[in-house]
Structure 1
Amino acid sequence: MGRLSELFDPETVGVVGATDREGAVGRAIVENLRDEFAGTVVPINPNREVVLGLECYPDVTSAPAIDLAVVVVPPDAVIETLREIGEAGTRHVVVITAGFSETGGEGADRERRLREVAEEYDLAVVGPNSLGVMATDVGMNATFGPESALDGSISFMSQSGAFITAVLDWANEQGIGFQDVVSLGNKTVLDETDFVREWGDDPDTDVIIGYLEGIDDGGEFVRTAREVANDTPIVLVKSGRTDAGAQAASSHTGAIAGSERAYEAGLEQAGVIRARSVQELFDYARALSGLPEPETDGVAVVTNAGGPGVLTTDAVGDSTLKMAEFTDETIDALTEAMPEEANVYNPIDAIGDADVDRFGEALDLALADPNVGSAVVVSAPTAVLEYDVLAETIVEKRDDHDKPVVTCLMGGTRARAAEEALREVGVPNYFDPARAVAGLDALARYRTVRERTADAPTEFDVDRERARGILERAAERGTNRLGVESMALLDAYGIPTPEGEIVDDPDRAREVAKAIDGEVVMKIVSPDITHKSDIGGVKVGVEDENVYDAYEDLVSRARNYQPDATILGVQVQEMLDLDASTETIVGMNRDPQFGPLLLFGLGGIFVEILEDTSVRVAPIGETEAREMVDEIQAAPLLRGARGRDPADVDAVVETLQRLSQLVTDFPAILELDVNPLVAGPDGVRAIDLRLTLDTEEL
């Protein structure tokens, strides 16, 4: 364990605000600690001499040295209390008290001062507005919740304290145990990234799970979680997926919801397995904390009931797994061992009169098959089948083959004892076959996380100073929106652009056009006119003799459309052969939590209609850039579908990486669209550019 070791393994816990008053939070915390904690509990309250039979001290200074301070004093007293704790040398604090940023106004200011004191004394603070923390290794329940956690290997964090109390009540009934439990509260000092990092270093934590309403620093979370997930699976429920949910989250514990697309991309890049519900969260956690990793995606289903067997097969089809194809040797062995009426192909239906021996033999033969990575045992209760004996047989066969096995022993009282016996040896039982398959699917998804390679972003040789000058000159002009007048920005980062120039008189336009081989494209250049095509601000296929008149017409159209618009001139540009190319879009939107969110997809006029795009959080390396290209439905167009010449995909991949470097180097760029980026057999060309700046960041 690292910096937070004393938070989860203290020898002495002080409760500042302890009391014996009935119904008080300070009493509940002392009771929970007194009844279970292996160390010393120190109540602190100037108005008490004894609290629940324990000697009480008037302040932190007069109390014995404490490793962890739990603060439950009125909001106005919290800041001074933290100073006293810091002066006394304690470095780990849990602030239970509410009344901070979640209340706005004065509370937000109070939280700012709390953060300043924590920084001054280097305090590791959980909260404020926290239910508390638990550490089962030392029997520490430093919360005011009604339930303590059972021992286990799952470490659990939640941005909602109420969620923790509900989960613990349910988990205790299900026999699910935990290593550590943390109520994050307002996350003023310690946040989800700190605990992912800490539990990633903890050999006693097999799985990290959490309920989050928002992630404060998405970029740091992605970097940390990506490293941790190589050895420790991370499963999260993130609320606020819908617009309505995001709005609700922003009013709860002060969370600011970023875009759902950014969360999807960021958590995927971080190697986090995302659950859509609380049920999935724990179904995944149970599988990941107790089962070995499957070597293949092939699943064998062994059942005594045709209907549940079909349901299980459907569930496998809906997952990332597949039904295993048995070898001829396995089918021959099953044919010899099973009754004639049985189905020896996957799923194996041992039929309704199957006893434990027949079940065991079928499972043994299935697990021995090299195409089988895992198995689901599905059973309906019958008079000839004893579930407790079946459970012993399942464990025996699992141990013989060292492959993950989950069960679906359907029933109530009859299944309960067997379920408990299976749970004790790490075999999760689910009533619903789909949930059993989902548990195995989580194992396979985590194997993919461990096998992936995330290469470091390529550092291209670019002209940063030239790019900086372009952006600064735009800011000096008092504009935060740039268009094709800033195409040199792309050139500075090695992104190819067509031959051409922006001119401010028709004679110069004619000169530039003559220097370009063939017909040209002409566009009005104005940061105030976004959709140039809509006003006739683009002319395609202009011949030399028509350039002068085209220039005059473009300027006239722009003036008539928006008299107060700033007109910087007209862009004269070589015309590309679009028939032999594919129009794509590369872009970026700076997300409040995750930072630069890169986008790639089919471009031109189709981007808003088809919405065929992929996203990643920058910076990205070559592997992730290539994945972005491969993920869109239109990817076959780039690879030469229906007789088309394939586009230079490597050039597209490089452009994505160069754009990633550009927006990472310049946080002042809030939004950027290169649309279209024309991808042809001989490379790419950026035809148009729009971007928005935060001029104060320059």
Structure 2
Amino acid sequence: MGRLSELFEPETVAVIGATDRKGAVGRAILENLSSGFAGEVVPINPNRETVLGYECYPDVESAPSVDLAVVIVPPPVVLQTLREIGESGTEHVVVITAGFGETGGEGAERERELREIAEEYDLNVVGPNSLGIMSTPVGMNATFGPEHALEGSISFMSQSGAFITAVLDWANDQQIGFRDVVSLGNKSVLEETDFVREWGDDSETDVIIGYLEDIEAGDEFIRVARSVTDETPIVLVKSGRTDAGAHAASSHTGAIAGSERAYETGLQQAGVLRAQSVQELFDYARALSGLPAPESGDVAVVTNAGGPGVLTTDAVGDSTLEMASLTEETVAALSESMPDEANVYNPIDIIGDADVDRFGEALDTALSDPNVGSAVVVSAPTAVLTYDDLAEVVIETRERHGKPVVTSMMGGKRARAAEEALRESGIPNYFDPARAVSGLDALARYRDVRERTRDEPEAFDVDRERARKILERAKSRPGNQLGIESMDLLEAYGVPTPNGSVVDDPADARELAESIDGDVVMKIASPEIAHKSDIGGVKVGVPDAEVYDAYEDLIARARNYQPDAGILGVQVQEMLDLDDSTETILGVNRDPQFGPLLLFGLGGIFVEILEDTSVRVAPIGESEARDMIDDVKASPLLAGARGREPANTDAVVEAIQRLSQLVTDFPAILELDINPLVAGPTNAQAIDLVVTVDTEKL
């Protein structure tokens, strides 16, 4: 593919399907291009000699060479048109026409052929089923929407064309500008990751925002977005937040780490800020596009109104920010300069008769405090305060201190002129103080993104061929599932397991038990019986003399519970001392978009009840493995709560990394549960195992 920057900077645009018929999409796009595009417009339509005063060409072959082709012909004609575009040497195409994958059946087949043609001719295709694209620097509006975007530094993509038309109408009213706008359509060729990569390389794009319903290749998106967010913030609204994939999951991990959690985790790992609404999306974007990141999350509030000041304080408490603790010097300076009735602590309430000079002095003093990372100026209109003058003071004070400041000048027409001056200086104004805090919160969260530490996954010395042979056993198992009889899969990747194995004879069970120091644990070995303890399929603390009878009893219980279950025998295993240990769960569920999701949490019988777990998309390095442990509320148990000896968290971290390597090496592993992974003072050992395998991928 060629550089996407050429998609947004064409000198010549062809409109294939241009027409002067009123109400037609081909006319709307031509009119939009005519109203501001600095380059040449070339209509193509075999049934017209001219269109809206432009010379019209019958086909692509007879038209002049173009940089961008916009296609609005009937669905059956699109594929041949694409071939003609490819033969002409044009690389960039926007397919407006609908009737492809979104309709299923014949349309889906047509979209498959479209992808093949694009690959054959190396075409960059936006769509099909797209509203079009815009680029304000060159005045290009190649959409059939009713609004032109104002010029700005925000680049915007959307899977919904209707969302774009609504947003542009609102954004124009709010004086919010854009650099590039893309309606992704069906994403048959170009998708969100391509535009994130392009805009990340564009020095004129300050913020990337988007509305997405899905992400095509989550693993690639994470890799690209991680790099981009080092310099350029990304804010997304992701719709469809239901746990659509959980109903198909058969393991603990699959039930807990469903589709929505995959998006939540993947976007977080990518450094993307997720907005929950359109309002939040633009509140974040306005702050991120105009203000520097704060050095800390400590906020000062300066206000002339007690009630709004309290609302602002509450909003800070609901965010990742904190109210700044002012130094004694700051409090003394405020006490000297403010009226006796003022509150010189935080929030700084300079009371209702404050004029612009008092506001300026209070804000200057607050921003001079080393404990203050940013500030919110909250004001209600009064007869002694002019918002235009207040805006000038806020602008000058912010520039002098270099710290981010947002405002909440509450009001209507009184705030409009001031709002425009603030906007031109990069300072967003919000009517609602809570939204002002939300904007600052986005800045602080993005600061954390830029300061994050990432390490490459460690490549452990493992026996990959041994693991592959073990996984191939699933081909002969019901449901392609392996159980505790395959604990050697973990051993192949260096995850410790207790001494023991599965035997299919009671005499062998007794012989094995005699070779193990102390009493043993015995479990029925059947991949088809998931919850062994529920049927009495587990015996703990069995002495050697009772092993033979315990074996017979376990087999009988399994037969009574599920007569048709495949029983491989009984696992005889070393019994661990759990008094100073913590049972955890370590698992994997393979998400169709993001790939393997690692899950860690409190294990044993409580995992589905408490759901105290953390999730990451594999592969991960040591720092992310440690973060997984720290994110779990029950992590103090591992640190030795209530006088217990601390667990060896280094061993747990290594087990997480080794499992990450295993499931990255073998895409055939769909689900895997180690429950429990027992974390003790000296090591971490896997006690139980269930694995579901896609045998066609082995």
What's the TM-score, normalizing by structure 1? 0.97
Contact 1:2 1:198 in 2 (8 A): no
Corresponding residue of 2:388: 388
* Aligned partner of residue 36 in structure 1, secondary structure: coil
CA RMSD of aligned residues (A): 1.4
Structure 2 counterpart of 1:203: 203
SS of structure 2 residue aligned to 1:570: strand
Partners of 1:214 and 1:258 within 8 A in 2: no
The one-letter code of the counterpart of 1:89 is: G
Per-residue deviation, 1:245 = 12
* Equivalent residues of 1:237, 1:274 under 8 A apart: yes
CA offset digits 1:363-405 (Å, max 9, x no partner): 1111111111111111000000011111111101111111111
Aligned to 2:439: 439
CA deviations on 1:120-163 (whole Å, 9 max, x unpaired) are 00000000000000000100000000001000000000000000
Q: Residues of 2 paired with 1:283 and 1:478: CA distance?
A: 52
Check whether the contact 1:258–1:592 (CA below 8 A) recurs between aligned residues. Answer: no
Give CA deviations for 1:24-81 in whole Å, capped at 9, x if unaligned: 0000000000111010000001011101110110111110000000000000001000
- Check whether the contact 1:258–1:593 (CA below 8 A) recurs between aligned residues: no
- What is residue 620 of structure 2 aligned with on the other side? 620
CA distance in 1, matches of 2:501, 2:287: 61
SS for the counterpart of 1:342 is coil
Match of 1:128 in 2: 128
**2:14 corresponds to 1:32:** no
Letter in 2 for 1:48: R
Map of 2:587 onto structure 1: 587
| Alignment match, 1:89 | 89
Give 1:412 deviation, angstroms. Answer: 0.7
Partners of 2:237 and 2:585 lie apart in 1 by 32
Moved more, 588-597 or 557-566: 557-566
Aligned to 2:161: 161
Could you list the per-position Cα deviations for residues 156-193 of structure 1 after superposition, in whole angstroms to 9, with x for gaps in the alignment?
00000000000000000000000000000000000000
Alpha-carbon separation, structure 2, partners of 1:100 and 1:337: 68
Task: Measure, in 2, the Cα distance between the counterparts of 1:85 and 1:581.
Answer: 67
Query: Structure 1, residues 516-557: CA drift from partner, whole Å, max 9, x if none?
Result: 000001111112211111111111111111111111111111
Contact 1:210 1:237 (C-alpha < 8 Å) held by counterparts: yes
1:560-571 to 2 correspondence within 5 Å? Answer: 560-571=560-571
Contact 2:647 2:682 in 1 (8 A): yes
Contact 2:485–2:501 at 8 Å: present in 1 too? Answer: no
Q: 1:316 to 1:622 in 2, by over 3 A?
A: same
Query: What is the deviation of 1:689?
Result: 0.1
Give secondary structure in 2 for the equivalent of 1:449. Answer: helix
Cα distance, 1:292 vs structure 2: 1.2
> Which residue in 1 is equivalent to 2:576?
576
With over 3 angstroms needed to count, the CA separation of the structure-2 counterparts of 1:11 and 1:288, relative to structure 1, is same
CA spacing shift, 1:33–1:284, aligned 2, 3 Å: same
SS at match of 1:125: strand
2:253 corresponds to: none
- Comparing 331-340 with 118-127, which one deviates more in the overlay? 331-340
The 5 Å alignment of 1:180-579 reads: 180-243=180-243, 259-476=259-476, 480-579=480-579
Letter in 2 for 1:5: S
Measured in 2, the distance between the counterparts of 1:391 and 1:78 equals 53
What letter corresponds to residue 300 of structure 2 in structure 1? Answer: A
CA contact (8 A) 2:160 2:183 kept: yes
Cα deviation digits, residues 402-438 of structure 1 (max 9, x gap): 1111000011111111111111111100000000000
Output aligned runs, 1:52-131, within 5 Å. Answer: 52-131=52-131
Structure 1 residues 658 and 610: CA distance shift in structure 2, 3 A: same
Q: Look up the SS of the partner of 2:383 in the other structure.
A: coil
Q: Contact 2:160 / 2:184 at 8 angstroms: preserved in 1?
A: yes
Distance 1:346 1:482 in 2: 60
Are residues 471 and 245 of structure 1, via their aligned partners in 2, closer, same or farther at CA, if it must alter by over 3 Å? closer
Structure 2 unaligned blocks of 5 or more = 248-256
1:244, distance to aligned residue in structure 2 (A): 8.2
2:656 counterpart letter in structure 1:
L
Structure 2 SS opposite 1:19:
coil
1:580 alignment partner, SS class = coil
Deviates more, 1:222-231 or 1:521-530: 521-530
Range moving further from structure 2, 292-301 or 493-502: 292-301
Q: Per the alignment, do residues 231 and 196 of structure 1 end up closer, same or farther by CA in structure 2, a change over 3 Å counting?
A: same
- Read off the aligned partner of 1:695 and give its amino acid letter: T
Aligned partners of 1:207 and 1:234 also within 8 Å? yes
Q: Deviations over 1:454-492 (max 9, x none)?
A: 111111000000000111133255650110011000000
CA distance in 2, matches of 1:87, 1:226: 37
Q: Name the structure 1 match of 2:50.
A: 50
Classify the secondary structure of the residue corresponding to 1:168: helix
> Contact (CA 8 Å) 2:478, 2:528: kept in 1 or not?
no
- Counterpart CA distance in 2 for 1:403 and 1:543 is 70
Q: For residue 463 of structure 1, what is the amino acid of its counterpart? A: D
SS of the residue aligned with 2:309? helix
Provide the rounded CA distance (Å) in 2 between the counterparts of 1:378 and 1:516.
72
- In structure 1, the residue corresponding to 2:35 is in which secondary structure? helix
The superposition leaves residues 79-131 of structure 1 with CA deviations (integer Å, 9 ceiling, x where unpaired) of: 00000000000010000000011111111000000000000000000000000
**Are residue 635 (structure 1) and residue 642 (structure 2) matched?**
no
Q: CA deviation at 1:327?
A: 1.3
Structure 1 counterpart of 2:604: 604
CA distance in 1, matches of 2:103, 2:672: 36
Q: Secondary structure at the match of 1:676?
A: strand
SS at match of 1:225: helix
Residues 298, 372 of structure 1: 8 Å contact kept: yes
The equivalent residue for 1:251 is none
Structure 2 CA distance for partners of 1:461 and 1:487, relative to 1, 3 Å:
same
**The 10-residue stretch of structure 1 (470-479 or 42-51) with the greater mean CA deviation from structure 2:** 470-479
Mapped partners of 1:245, 1:43: distance in 2: 46
Contact 1:356 1:389 in 2 (8 A): yes
Deviation at 1:346, TM superposition (A): 1.1
Could you tell me which residue of structure 2 aligns to residue 253 of structure 1? none
For 2:680, the equivalent position in structure 1 comes to 680
Cα separation, 1, equivalents of 2:262 and 2:107: 29
Q: How many residues align?
A: 689
What TM-score comes out, normalization by structure 2 length?
A: 0.97
Q: CA 1:290–1:590 in structure 2 vs 1: closer, same or farther (change >3 Å)?
A: same
* Mapped contact 2:673–2:691 kept (Cα < 8 A): yes
Q: Aligned partners of 2:206, 2:553: CA distance in 1, in Å?
A: 69
Please report how far the alpha carbon of residue 242 of structure 1 lies from its aligned counterpart in structure 2 after TM superposition: 2.5
- Tell me if the contact between 2:154 and 2:208 (Cα under 8 Å) persists in the aligned partners: yes
Runs of 4+ in 1 over 6 A off after TM superposition: 244-247
